[in-house]
Amino acid sequence: MGDPVAEYSSRLQQQEQEIHSLTAEIESLKNPQSLVLSSHLDGLREENAKLKYRLNILKRSLQEERSQCSKTMMNINQRLQEIFGEAIREAWPDLENPPLAVTPNQQAKFGDYQCNSAMAMAQVMMKSKGLKVNPREIAEKIQQNIPDNELIEKTEIAGPGFINVHLKRSFVSKLLTNMLLNGVQPPPLESKKKVVVDFSSPNIAKEMHVGHLRSTIIGDSMCRLFEFLGYDVLRLNHVGDWGTQFGMLIAHLQDKFPNYLTVSPPIGDLQAFYKESKKRFDEEEDFKKRAYQCVVKLQSKDPAFIKGWNLICDVSRNEFQKVYNCLDIQIIERGESFYQEKMIAVVKEFEAKGLVEMDEGRKIVFAPGQQIPLTVVKSDGGYTYDTSDLAALRQRLFDEKADIIIYVTDSGQGTHFQVVFAAAQMIGWYDPKVTRVEHAGFGVVLGEDKKKFKTRSGDTVRLMDLLDEGLKRSMDKLKEKDRDKVLSTEELTKAQHSVAFGCIKYADLSHNRINDYVFSFDKMLDDRGNTAAYLLYAFTRIRSIARLANIDEVALRKAAETTDVLLQHDKEWKLGKCLIRFPEILQKILDDLLLHTLCDYLYELATTFTEFYDSCYCIEKDRQTGEVLKVNMWRMLLCDATATIMAKGFDILGINPVSRM
């Protein structure tokens, strides 16, 4: 059997297409020029009536399928855009690509959503047809043509032409019940696309530092989002594992551990080992010559030199893995060495198409609209980062057959990637209208002095030192709250890791990645405001409500099957609307890759829940004995729905909440 969700989506799509074609056919029949006096006039009228009949049946069928909630969550904003889009097409069938603007309403008294298309349409009509139309009249015409649908209770026109939308509370209640019964299921994809995310990318023989922290955290969260939405995701670690520096490292290895081929060298501190070899390279001419000879031997795949290279890479990999284990990162290493052979073919391809120019012995490529060329071959015949990145991009497009490729590096590399992408489009590797290739840049991490984050001695901060400091500080915070007196040793350790690494991740992700951000343990561990500490504590409290009322998961499941989620109180309604916005929040992030939107949403959800919980009794207890007198089960379901959405949000951010904190 096929995927029922895919079949359902396909059927809906086919019905939509047929409705559009039938509508167009009816419109053509209405055209007086086509109704010439002929013996076929009666036949045309009969055909028109049949088409209208079929169109109405299809619309009713589509309406019925939508009104019966599928197992997946509905993107309300997207559905409203479909409804208003249909209304606009009905009112102005000749208007090409009419502007569609639907947003959540900021003030509840004006409704739940707002369609702002009328003002933009007035400008379009003025520009394209020279017509001056009052936006309010346009809004009225849109309102008159809104088709029957499953979710709009009523619409009102306000101001110069805003259309305020009030949702049906009963429909929102059904959406919440559906989510409680089926879990947080994303809307179905039209097709399962392949996504490659290039992130983390430290250099072999060097410590991972705070700059790698941002790429690792942001890239992992993007992968988690794409994976949750149903994409086929390849997580790639483009490590710096090739180049002239390996000549000096291998030469130093030969001197310090001459028997490295038979006895594994005990390189404890690879950073110190690198500094030693670099010092010798800069100061000893004989060593420098031997280092260059080692590079030649390595590039010619001499077994002894390949073994030395592998030993150095393995020491680095073990260090990197410690960081990845702490942060729960899954990633496949595919370093620069993987693309060495492929670079030869890339240069030949550019040469064959006459796109290579000579410049003082270098081979360079100018891409359209770019002022800086790519250097694909150096004057000494060696390859560059430009060549390596072109080869990597080509492999991902043609071998991996990627539909979406995201590079997560610091914003300083933005110009470089812009030129690489332009060159790839110039040679015909991909069409940006079909394949999405994007650089998701990010700002630098600053210390509390607003300067680049460094140690007191001015060195780059080692990432493992930073994570260890986070663990220490989170334990201090938990003990400050006397959690060590309540939790078991195992629970305390889990809470320590959850708070430490959750706070570090959230502090990064809650800022717009494009901006620099100040790293401060004090701020990220503060349990007030938009921090992971606040959200983790809030989540634990929400989860504890059912437990304290002795309501287990079986009872909640049964309640979801039999109890309507009432949304009569203003705070119930506000919370219900906030919960169903989750799919549209994810869609926005999918479009702009800005993960702070999800953090802002989770904080809004937590504060909206607090308003609800303070105003609406979920459990009524005897004030003297503490005995539970009454459980308002529909409100317990709202608690469960909030915790469920928060848990999925945490999962996308790579944060692991614990049941007790």
Tokens representing 523 are 């701020």
Cβ proximity of 115 and 80 under 8 Å = yes
**Band (2; pLDDT cuts 50, 70, 90):** very low
pLDDT classification of 449: cutoffs 50, 70, 90 = confident
| Range in 76-85, 90-99, 246-255, 633-642 the model is least confident about | 90-99
Q: What was the pLDDT predicted at 375? A: 97
Cα–Cα distance, 113 to 476 (Å, whole number): 45
Burial class from Cβ neighbours inside 10 Å (0-12, 13-18, 19+) for residue 388 reads buried
Q: At what angle do helices 303-327 and 270-283 cross, to 10 degrees?
A: 140
Distance CA 137, CA 548 (A): 56
Q: Which of 208-217, 323-332, 368-377 has the lowest mean pLDDT?
A: 208-217
Tell me the C-alpha distance between 118 and 132, whole Å.
Answer: 12
Strand 102-104 relative to strand 113-115: parallel, antiparallel, unpaired? antiparallel
At 22 the pLDDT is: 63
Residues 6 or more apart from 228 whose CB is under 8 A from it? 186, 586, 648, 651, 652
Res. 61: pLDDT tops 70: no
**Which residue would you say has higher pLDDT here, 529 or 1?**
529
Burial status of residue 348 (CB atoms within 10 A of its CB: 0-12, 13-18, 19 or more) = exposed
Spacing of C-alpha 65 from chain mean position: 30
What average pLDDT does range 598-618 have in this prediction? 97
Token pair of 439 as six digits: 């650089």
What whole-number distance in Å separates Cα of residue 500 and Cα of residue 473? Answer: 8
Q: How far, in Å, CA of 413 to CA of 442, rounded?
A: 10
Residue 300 — φ and ψ, nearest 5°? -90, 5
CB atoms within 10 A of CB 625: 8
- Range list of H helices, 257-339: 270-283, 285-299, 303-327
656 CB neighbour count, 10 Å cutoff: 15
Nearest to 376 by CA among 335, 423, 422, 408: 423
Strands 152-158 and 619-621, by their bridges, are unpaired
Residue 154's beta-bridge partner residues? 166
Query: In this structure, are residues 643 and 603 in contact, taking their beta carbons and an 8 Å threshold?
Result: no
Segment 651-659 mean pLDDT: 94
- Residue-wise pLDDT for 386-395, tens only, equals 999 999 999 9
Mean of per-residue pLDDT scores for the chain: 90
Who wins on pLDDT, 112 or 450? 112
Tokens 């504060």, residue? Answer: 607
Of how many residues is the chain composed?
Answer: 661
Q: In angstroms, what CA-CA distances link 579 with 451, 582, 585, 606, 653?
A: 39, 6, 10, 10, 17
- Dihedral (CA of 148, 4, 16, 79) sign: positive
> What is the helix, strand, coil percentage profile of the chain, to 5?
60, 10, 30
Strand partners, 619: 631
| pLDDT confidence of residue 27 | 63
Say how far apart CA 117 and CA 39 lie, in whole Å: 44
Q: Are 352 and 346 in contact (CB under 8 A)?
A: no
Q: How is residue 69 written in tokens?
A: 């909630």
Work out the pLDDT band at 168, boundaries 50, 70, 90: very high
Distance of CA 28 to the CA centre of its chain: 44
pLDDT at residue 317 tops 80: yes
**Segment 596-601 mean pLDDT:** 98
Alpha-carbon gap, residue 594 to 24, rounded angstroms: 39
Residue 550 Rama label (left phi>0; alpha psi -120 to 50; beta): left
Three-state SS at 375: strand
Q: Are 28 and 34 in contact (CB under 8 A)?
A: yes
pLDDT higher than threshold 50 for residue 67: no
State how far the Cα of 87 lies from the Cα of 591, in Å rounded to an integer.
25
Give the Cα separation of 304 and 315 in Å (integer): 17
Question: Rounded to the nearest 5°, which phi and psi values hold at 7?
Answer: -65, -40
User: Which pLDDT tens digit goes with each residue over 535-587?
Assistant: 999 999 999 999 888 899 999 999 999 999 999 999 999 999 999 999 999 99
**Residue tagged 């959540």 (tokens):** 104
In the predicted model, is pLDDT for residue 115 greater than 80?
A: yes
pLDDT of 165 > 70? The answer is: yes
**Are 578 and 605 in contact, with CB atoms under 8 Å apart?**
yes
Handedness of CA 312, 315, 317, 323 (dihedral sign): negative
